[in-house]
Structure 1
Amino acid sequence: MRGALLVAGTTSDAGKSVVTAGVCRWLARRGVRVAPFKAQNMSLNSFVTAEGAEIGRAQVAQAWAAGVEPSADMNPILLKPGGERRSQVVVMGKPFAEVDAMEYGAYKDRLREVALQAYWRLREKYDVVVCEGAGSPAEINLRRGDIANMGLARAAGIPVVVVGDIDRGGVFAAMYGTVALLEAADQALISGFVVNKFRGAPELLAPGLESLRRLTGRPVFGVLPWLDGLWLDLEDSLALDNRQVPVDEAAGERLRVVVVRYPRISNFTDVDALAAEPGVSVRFVSRAGDAAEVREADLVVLPGSRATVSDLEWLRSTGLADAVRGRRGPVLGICGGYQMLGHSIVDEVESSVGRVAGLGLLPVTVEFARDKTLARPEGTAYGCRVSAYEIHHGVVTVTGDAEPFLDGCRVGDVWGTTWHGALENDDFRRAFLADVAARAGREFVPAPGVSFAGLRERQFDALGDLVERYVDTEALLELIEKGAPAGLPVLPPGGDV
């Protein structure tokens, strides 16, 4: 079979990413060569591919679900917000520009061409390309310059399925309204719906599904049930509010890990492997009232940041910086968090504020370079091989006595590294946690059988199972191969069919 599908959503976080990953895994298990695609992604959770390109972590996860190597073509445009109005634009995996919301419009025509070329390269290489939309296609204020939703679907003739999150409420209105707000040529590609995160009796939902079909002339291809413990690499830190990583509920006393969630937190999936370890609990904190938790945790993690200087100032304003500096116990800084732990930061690139003082817990200085470091390093720590990836402008220089640690350094109970993804290496993670527990005076026996890669694979299989069990897969296959059905009704806004 050959073809494509675009998974759109009624809102952000409706379930586009997980449905796309589920469709990729389901098709891959059928022997189909499938690849994910997101033309334009806004996310601070990114990854470095084997070719040295930075792309959104969600597309990486979808590629893994499809059983293929992630590439820049799968996410040709990545927007990384650095403030309320400014973002770094990453094109085909490399930094392209720093723009505000209005300036970005000047690049849209050029970027649309880049995205379409990437899409067609994937179509040549794979049997099926499963595209993920961005936000909602019904954001009609953005339709003129749209690259990722109906702009892509129209340009490439891709049928569209709209996913709605019923757990939010109002899913029928959102689905009907999504279609009705679009112009006729866009509506012609909206081929049906998938209801996501349903809890309850299916028979109570059935009348609504039938009414939606009658009112729109489009079927509901499936109703995906709420599945506890389901997770996937997220794009948006706002989704951390509902994040659930499977843990061993039978485990007894837990090693308590606190992760500081500053406003521009990035690569927060670095701690997923900790949360999946039996005997470890992970909690994100973000308020001044959380200072006690920071002081009392067995391990505090300062994760990556897209705006290191700004997030460091926020850390001070909340009092959490004092809690980190005043605690007696292990602290791990990753990338931006590592930079914050040093003596000083000179930044004329991200914030342009010049020199600022760090927390002073590690003997390092940081100077931001214009060129971004994108790498896939390998090394050794605790006698274990470690594979990771790097994404940063800050160049760290060790200025005093410190032990080397994963291309970073360590002094006493404080570790710092520029490497993302290191904790996904099972042997290293267990050795590191054992050291943390000993220094925190806690009993912790690592579980040798835990494989984080295996856990992720089981999540992909669970998503594939959801699609196979709860979606009309025959109808989906026909849609992918033949495109949107001809003669779909056009809904006038607020009108009847």
Structure 2
Amino acid sequence: MSGGLLVAGTTSDAGKSVVTAGLCRWLARRGVKVAPFKAQNMSLNSMVTADGAEMGRAQYMQAQAAGVEPRAVMNPVLLKPGSDRRSQVVVLGRPVAEVDALQYGDHKEWLRGVVKESLDELRSEYEVVVCEGAGSPAEINLRAGDIVNMGLARMADLPVVVVGDIDRGGVFASLFGTVALLEPADQALVAGFVVNKFRGAKELLEPGLEQLRRLTGRPVLGVLPWTLGLYLDSEDTLALDAPRPDAAAPFGRQTLRIAVVRFPRISNFTDMDALACEPGVVVRYAASPGDLAEADLVVLPGTRATVSDLAWLRERGMADEVVRRAREGRPVLGICGGHQMLAKRIEDPVESGTGLVEGLGLLPARVVFESDKTLGRPRGSAYGENVDGYEIHHGIVSVEGGEPFLDGCRVGAVWGTTWHGTMENDGFRRAFLKDVAETAGRDFTPAPDVGFAALREATFDALGDLVEEHLDTDAVWRLIEKGAPGDLPVVPPGGAPAI
């Protein structure tokens, strides 16, 4: 067989990525050879594959959930915003253009061909391909050029399941309205709904589920309960606004407090996931100098716009706070774009076109931006531990002194590296946090038995369990095997199905 399914959502962050990952794990556990696919992704969280190509981090994670090697063909088009109007276009793992929102439309026709060929390739190799949509399929202003939602479903004749986030409120209106706004040929492929993040008595929900079925002629295929701890490689910063279990955690001597600067163009903030999984570590995102004051470690993370985000850091008074604490011997870590900011100077004729800019001057380094993007999976060591990472950047950092630290350097309590993903190395993470705690004067001791890879696998299994226990898997399998039923009614806006 060569089955497929498209998981769409009523909004961004409705749960499409999590449901897709859960379906991939459920199918893999059934012995099905399955792969994820997202035709077009707009995200600043990306990853480098084993063969040196760039792809969305969420699709990389979904491939891991499916138990297959992540490949750029699983995310053929990746858009990386550098401002409110301009994005870098990455096609099959390589950057091909910088375009504004209107110019991007000129590329849609050939990108449609890339998407079709990519999906066809996967469907020839795998028994099932679980596709993920983007945003909402009811973004009718974008429908004409759509290659990721109903445009993809029509192209590949995929049945569509729409996920709605009940925690936001208005889930019934969102699910009904999503279908009602679609043209009849698109509606014909929408075969059911999934309600996500439900907490409470399901008996109270049942009348609404039944009424939605009567109004649309489509079943609710399952209700997924609210589940903490499923923060899986998010695609956008909406995930940073979600409540986390440590949000109000009290600080004690045995707690390590980490403040991560929330840049406007923050990228690869998944670097923080392994830190947040460490018992006794509290990770919070910071947007003002006061948010940094009491932290034991301040992290300047990656960014898609180093120069403009450095200007933002200065405008908000946060740069002065970072410099002050560094000079007091209080820990600061810069990763990729954050590492670049710590240098003495930055020469950027490429990303921002600004030219020469003064850095924070906390590390003896200089940065020159080049037109070619560096993509790699480097390996090294620090603290006597082996370290695997990945790098995605245009800025080349030349280190001119200090104590070696991975590919960067350390001066006092300031560390800098271009490598992402280093904290996922358990031994290195523990040694680094132990050093930070001693430097900050904390009593924190890293847990010796926390393995990030094992935690990630446990999360994949938890997602598979959610699918098995709370979705009508027989109905889902029929959709994958046979496609959308041929008798689905048209839902006119504001009314019952035209039967």
Same fold at TM > 0.5: yes
Report whether the alignment pairs 1:163 with 2:143. no
Confirm or deny: 8 A CA contact 2:301 2:336 kept in the other structure. yes
Pairing partner for 2:303 from 279, 302, 305: 305
Q: Which amino acid aligns with 2:318?
A: L
- One-letter amino acid of the counterpart of residue 214, structure 2: R
Residue 451 and residue 251 in structure 1: after superposition, are their counterparts in 2 closer, same or farther (change >3 A)? farther
Q: Which moved more, 1:407-416 or 1:292-301?
A: 292-301
1:185 aligns to what SS in structure 2? helix
Alpha-carbon offset, residue 148 of structure 1: 0.2
Matches within 5 A, 1:44-83: 44-83=44-83
Which residue matches 1:149?
149
- After superposition, give the CA deviation of every residue in 1:254-276 in whole Å (9 maximum; x if it has no partner): 01111100100000010111111
Alignment-derived partner of residue 319 in structure 1: 317
Residue 251 of structure 1, CA deviation: 10
Equivalence map 1:224-303=2 (5 Å): 224-242=224-242, 244=244, 253-287=254-288, 291-303=289-301
Provide Cα deviations, 1:169-225, integer angstroms capped at 9, x if missing partner.
111111111111111110110000000011111111101111111111111000001
The CA deviation string for residues 404-459 of structure 1, in whole angstroms up to 9 with x for no partner, is 11111111111100000001000000001111111111112221100011111111
Give TM-score, length-normalised by structure 1: 0.97
Q: For residue 487 of structure 1, report the CA deviation from its aligned partner.
A: 1.2
Report the alpha carbon displacement of residue 246 of structure 1 after superposing the two structures with TM.
8.2
User: CA–CA distance in 2 between the matches of 1:184 and 1:337?
Assistant: 49
Counterpart amino acid of 1:446?
P
1:440 aligns with 2:440: yes
Partner of 1:490: 490
Asked if 1 retains the 8 angstrom alpha-carbon contact of 2:13 and 2:238, the reply is no
Cα 1:342/1:77, change in 2 over 3 Å = same
* 1:201-220 matches, cutoff 5 A: 201-220=201-220
1:37-79, Cα deviation, whole Å (9 max, x unpaired): 0000000000000111111110011111111111001100000
Q: Does the Cα contact within 8 Å between 1:295 and 1:326 map onto a contact in 2? A: no
- Counterpart position of 1:364: 365
Which residue of 2 is the match for residue 129 of structure 1? 129
User: Could you tell me whether the CA contact under 8 Å between 1:36 and 1:62 is conserved in 2?
Assistant: yes
> Aligned pair in 2 of structure 1 residues 309, 425: CA closer, same or farther (>3 Å)?
same
Which amino acid letter does the alignment assign opposite residue 184 of structure 1? P
User: Structure 1 segments of 4 or more deviating over 3 A?
Assistant: 243-247, 249-252
Q: What per-residue deviation string (whole Å, max 9, x for no partner) do you get for residues 121-142 of structure 1?
A: 1101111000000000000000
- Residue in structure 2 matched with residue 425 of structure 1 by the alignment: 425
Q: Secondary structure at the match of 1:227?
A: coil
Q: Matches of 2:27 and 2:214 in 1, distance apart?
A: 30
Cα distance 1:250–1:125, how it changes in 2: closer, same or farther (>3 A)? farther
Q: Residues 4-62 of structure 1, C-alpha deviation per residue, up to 9 Å, x if partnerless?
A: 00000011111000000000011011111110000000000000001111111100111
C-alpha contact 1:23 1:467 (8 A) present in aligned 2: yes
> For residues 213 and 108 of structure 1, what CA distance do their matches in structure 2 show?
35
Name the SS for the 1:256 alignment partner. strand
Contact 2:246 2:282 in 1 (8 A): no
1:88 aligned residue: 88
C-alpha distance in 2 between matches for 1:260 and 1:103:
32
Q: CA deviation at 1:495?
A: 2.5
CA RMSD of aligned residues (A): 1.4
1:409 aligns with 2:409: yes
User: What amino acid is the match of 1:379?
Assistant: G
Rounded Cα–Cα distance in structure 2 between residues aligned with 1:32 and 1:156:
20
Q: For 1:209 and 1:95, how far apart are their aligned partners in 2?
A: 44
Q: Which amino acid letter does the alignment assign opposite residue 12 of structure 1?
A: S
Q: What is the rounded CA distance, in whole Å, between the counterparts of 1:182 and 1:297 in structure 2?
A: 49
3-state SS in 2 of match to 1:284: strand
Contact 2:228 2:245 in 1 (8 A): no
Q: Secondary structure, in 3 states, of the residue corresponding to 2:79?
A: strand
Partner SS for 2:419: coil
Residue identity matched to 1:312: L
Q: Secondary structure at the match of 1:362?
A: coil
Displacement after TM superposition at 1:293 (Å): 3.6
Tell me the CA shift for residue 280 of structure 1.
Answer: 1.1
- The residue aligned with 1:376 is 377
Structure 1 residue ranges without an equivalent (≥5): none
Q: Which residue of 2 aligns with 1:395?
A: 396
Distance 2:491 2:241 in 1: 35
Deviations 1:66-112 (A, max 9, x none): 11111001100000000010000000000010000000000000001
Where 2:447 maps in the other structure, the secondary structure is coil
Q: Match for residue 468 of structure 1? A: 468
Indicate the percent of aligned positions where both proteins have the same amino acid: 71
Question: Hey, what's the Cα distance between the residues in 2 that align with 1:224 and 1:255?
Answer: 33
Letter in 1 for 2:171: V
Count of aligned pairs: 492
Q: Which residue of 1 aligns with 2:31?
A: 31
Name the structure 1 match of 2:189. Answer: 189
**Which letter maps to 1:371?**
D
CA contact (8 A) 1:229 1:246 kept: no
